[in-house]
Structure formats: C-alpha cells, structure tokens
Structure 1
Amino acid sequence: MNNESKLDTVKGAALTNQKSTKVSHSVSFLNKKKWKEAGLFTLFVGPVLLAFILIVLIPFFTGIYYAFTDWNGVTGSVKWVGLDNFKYLFTEDKQFQTSFILTTKYTVVAIILTNLIGFGLALLVAQKLKTKNVLRTVFFMPNLIGGLILGFIWQFIFVKGFASIGQLTGISVFELAWLGDSKTAFWGIVIVSVWQGAGYIMIIYIAALQNVPQELIEAARIDGANRFQVLRHITMPLVAPAVTICLFLTTASSFKVFDANLSLTNGGPFKSTEMLALNIYTEAFVNNRYGIGEAKALIFFIVVAAITVLQVTISKKKEVES
C-alpha cells in the first residue's frame, strides 16, 4: 500500500507539473501575442499620432499660450499680458466685431445655398439620365480646383468677363462693379464658395439617396403620393444622417473661409468684406501683432466648436424623431 500511495503521489505531482507547464506556456503565448499586437498597433498608429502631436496639438496649445501675451511674432521677447488682448478685442477692435458679424451672415447664407443646391444636384443626377456620370463629374470638378486659383479665375470673370457681357447685352446685372462695391462683393464671395462646395456636398447626398429603398417610393406612388410628398415624407427622413454631415461640413468650412476672400477682394473695398479668418491673418502676419491674432483665433475656435456641437446635437435629435 505504501508503494502504491507513493506511486500515486509521484503521478499526481507529474500531472501537476505538466498542467503548470501548459499554463505557463499559454500565458507566455498570450503575452507574446499581446506584445505583437501592441507592436503592430504602434507601428501603424505611432507615426500618425506623432505627426498629429507635432502638427496639431503642440501648435494649438502654443497658440493658446501666445493669446495671453504681447508677442509680435518676430522677436524673442514675450510678455505675459493676461486678458488684456481679449479686453482690447471686445472694447476697441471694431473691425474684429464687424468681421465677426459679416462672417456669421456669410455662414448662414452659404450653408443654406450650398446644401440646397447640392441636394438639388444630387436629385438631378440620381435620376435615370444617360449623362448622369458626365453631370456628376462636371458638378464636382470645381471642388478639385484650389481655392486661391479658383478665386483668381472668378476675379477675372467678375472684372473682365461680366463687363464684356454687359457691354454686348446691356443687362444691368453684368454691368455692376461686382468686386468694387461692398454689397455685390459679398455676394461674389458667396457665389464662388457655393459654386465650389456644392459639388462635394452633392456626392454625400447622392450616396444617401442611393440607400433609399425604391420599394417605399414605389409603394407611396401607388398610394397616390406625388413627388413632393415622396420627397418630404420618405426621402428626407431617410437622408437625415447625410443632412447632419453636410450641415457640419458646410458650417465649419463657411466659418473658416479664407482663400476665396483673399483672392477675390482681399477684404476690400475698405475692409467691408474682410471675413474673420482673413482678419486674423492680417492681424498676426501683416500687422505683426501675433498675440492679438491668437486671441482672435482662440475666440473663433470656441465659437465655431460650440456652434458645430450644437448643430450636430440638434440634427441627431431630429434624426431620431423622424
């Protein structure tokens, strides 16, 4: 009996050692797998994260620091002035306030027109037309041209092209000083920006329209619904997520308009069309008041972020309700 019990004890110890060895091997394998996954994750994400930190985060937080200084952007001397820059903006800098109001007005107009025209173009090219692919290319093409180049092209059209058409036809619209008057210059910037952005918004709406079930539309038409009723009660609720995206994109891009403003009017005449982004650029790099320019940019960032978050929140709620 003693020999048998000893033998059982030895066998049990051997089995225990085998189990512990297997467990240790499995743990080691899992650790190696985790380290391998972590290494691959670092390999793919690391360079992008490093670039994001160097290009976005560090300049962002550095800009916040300079917003509270009087740095001119050139010399090495930086003096902390606290909230003096912000007090100056809200009490003395009338041009900043004017540019802010003008940018808000421009943003509202550009958002409405860009989305309406983009959605209208999407409805057009979503039809069974032989030339729909050609039309998509033509409508999207302005978005491929750089903003500055596009602005200079339209500057030539407004100044030379419209004047020639006005002389030949006598139509008063073409005889206006489009970039020489504050009212028409504002609408000139709107025309160029909407013409450029509507094609991109059109692509998003096309993708949404293609996901609308045709069975629902056919059933509604059989029940006697006209095109407007189908559009209002079926198509619009189903493309609501695309509307949210397009409103977000157009809000952000409209508030940050710079290239069209610079190339078309450069803020003229007499700074009457100077949008906020151009005002910030002029303050920081032309007037060499980098601290005040960063203070304007910080206020600009907070306002745009708050408006976009509010817009996305409201749009998402409406998606759920519909």
Structure 2
Amino acid sequence: MQKTYKKYFALFVLPTLIAFTLFFIVPFIMGIVLSFCKFTTVTNAHWVGIANYVKAFSNKDFMNALLFTVKFTVVSVITINVISFALAYGLTRGLKGTNIFRTIFFMPNLIGGIVLGYIWQLLINGVLAHFNVTITADPKYGFWGMVILTNWQLIGYMMIIYIAGIQNIPTELIEAAEIDGANKFQTLYKIIIPMTMPSVTICLFLTLTNCFKLFDQNLALTAGGPAKKTAMLAYDIYTTFYNRNGWEGVGQAKAVIFFIIVAAISLTQLYFTRRKEVEN
C-alpha cells in the first residue's frame, strides 16, 4: 500500500503545486520586481531601482499609518487574548448554558469586515451624536472604535481555540495540584497557562497578523479619516496604488515593506512562544 501511495504521490500533488505556483509564487515574484519599477500595467514597467522605496519611507502618510497600525496592534492583541482567555477559562468551569454562550461569542466572527465596519460606525456615531461629533472628528475616536470592533469580531474565535487548549489539559495534573494544596490562582498560573501555550502561540499569531492586515473594517469604519490619521498600513497601500496617479510602483514597494514587517514580527513571535510550550 505504501508503495502505491509513493507511486501516485507526484500525480496527486502536481495540480495543487501548479495552482500554487501560478497564483501565488509567480504573482509574488512579479510584485517584488514591480516594486523596483515605475509602471501603470505589468507590461509597461520601467526600472527605477530603489526610488520607490525612498518615496515610500519619505512619505508622511505611510509613516503615520505604520505608527497607527503598531499602536492599534499592540492594544488589540493584548485585549483580545486576555479577554478571550478569561472567557475560555470561565466557560470550562462546568457552568450551565456553556454551549449557548460559546455560540453567541463566536457569531461575530462570521460577519464580514465591511458589514461590521458599517454596523459599528452607526453604533459609535449614534453614541457620539449626543456630543455633537462623529467618529472621524478626532483620531482617538477612530482608534478606539477600531479596537472595539476588532475585539468584538475576534474574541469569540480566539476563545474557541483557548477552550480547546484548556480541555486538552490532563485532568490528572489539575487533581494532583489540588491534592498538593494549590489554590485556583496557583493552578491557573502554574498549570493551565503553561499547558495552553500551544493555543497561546496560535492565538497570538492570528491576532498579530489579522490586526496588521486589517483593511475592510478600516475602510468601512473611518476610511482613514480625519485627514488619513486613522489609516492603517493596508488602507494606505490601497490608496497609494489606486488613488495616486503614477504612484503604482510606490504602492507596490509599500506592499513589499508591509510583507517584510508582518513576516518578521510573526516569525519572531512564533519562535519565542514555541520555546515556552510544554508537552502534555
């Protein structure tokens, strides 16, 4: 049987490999090459070297978007993971109606980003209307609006992952800790959190990448207003590429920089959190 699998392995892998190469590897390489070119279409590109990267880093809007994205990601990653872990811990204590609460908390993740953005724009503007302002009146309103929206969307998803990690902890460990006289807080910090580090690794990775790549919600909620002060990196790249004539190459250079930043931060996070993981 194993020989049969090996014989036809290449045949089954080939279609997926071809599709992956054509629709991911080739466009990715073309994108890197075009980031060094001035172009309007892929067939009308002229090599300009690092000029696009110089323009990108000297662009005030890009640097503001980078700073805003970093601040937003730090706040959102911490709040999402803390709240989702707390909910997961509470919902694994054998409370009545646990399954109903899990479903309710998970449901926002099923709603599209554009829809969520407009829903929360209506809700937040409805509250701010009492003060005669809108969400785009001040960058801090847009910032906290984005944080609330992202928390509401992702907490339920991360909660499910944390629940799976907590439920995977051998009950013998918890019972042994209780016999040894450990209280709930000691059990949480000495047993549960270390044993759920694989779930922490996954959730940190997902929240980091999702927060950095956020686009739909940013577009619908604030559209970068006021004066692009709440524009995130993905939205800034979009406006540079499509809204500024002759800046397609700069937009592509920003996208490459964006990829490098996200990849570097994500891989660093994976390296450090995986070192904290322990085997069951």
Secondary structure at the aligned position of 2:48 is classed as coil
Aligned to 2:116: 150
Q: Which amino acid aligns with 2:84?
A: G
Cα offset for 1:155? 1.0
Matched residues in 2 for 1:280 and 1:159: separation? 27
- Tell me which residue corresponds to 1:304: 262
Give the aligned partner of residue 69 of structure 2: 103
Cα distance in 2 between the residues matched to 1:84 and 1:304: 22
For residues 219 and 119 of structure 1, the distance between their equivalents in structure 2, rounded to whole angstroms, comes to 23
Superposed, which structure 2 residues align to 1:78-93 within 5 Å? 78-90=45-57, 92-93=58-59
Deviation string 1:213-256 (CA, Å, 9 cap, x unpaired) is 22222232233322111100010111111111111111111110
Name the amino acid aligned to 2:266.
T
Please state whether the residue corresponding to 1:127 is helix, strand or coil: coil
Q: Does 1:266 align with 2:223?
A: yes
Q: Which runs of 4+ in 1 moved over 6 A?
A: none
What is residue 248 of structure 2 aligned with on the other side? 290
1:37 and 2:5 matched: yes
Compared CA separation, residues 321 and 315, structure 1 to 2 (3 A): farther
Three-state SS of the structure 2 residue aligned to 1:79 is strand
Alignment of 1:71-82 (within 5 A): 71-73=39-41, 76-82=43-49
Q: Deviation per CA, 1:2-52, whole angstroms, max 9, x where unpaired?
A: xxxxxxxxxxxxxxxxxxxxxxxxxxxx9xx85x53563244322222221
Q: 1:64 aligns to what?
A: 32
In 2, distance between residues paired with 1:190 and 1:176? 19
* Partner Cα distance (2:136, 2:191) in 1: 43
Contact 1:179 1:188 in 2 (8 A): no
Counting only pairs closer than 5 Å after superposition, residues 3-42 of structure 1 correspond to structure 2 as: 37=5, 40-42=8-10
* Identity over aligned pairs, percent: 48
Structure 1 residue 321, shift from structure 2 partner: 11
Aligned length: 279
User: Which residue of 2 is the match for residue 116 of structure 1?
Assistant: 82
SS of residue in 2 equivalent to 1:274: coil
Root-mean-square deviation over aligned CA pairs:
2.2
Deviation (angstroms), 1:275: 0.3
CA distance in 2, matches of 1:290, 1:142: 35
Q: Unaligned stretches of 5+ in structure 2?
A: none
Bigger Rg, which one: 1
Q: Which amino acid aligns with 1:318?
A: K
What are structure 1's unaligned runs of at least 5 residues?
A: 1-29, 167-171
2:237 maps to amino acid: I
Q: Is the 8 A contact 1:159 1:179 kept in 2?
A: no
- 2:207 aligns with one of 250, 255, 264: 250
Q: Which of 77, 91, 96 is residue 125 of structure 1 equivalent to?
A: 91
Partner of 1:319, secondary structure, is: coil
Distance 1:129 1:220 in 2: 22
The secondary structure found in structure 2 opposite 1:205 is: helix
TM-score, reference length from structure 1: 0.81
The letter of the residue matching 2:106 is F
Q: How far apart, CA to CA, are the structure 2 residues paired with 1:69 and 1:269?
A: 31
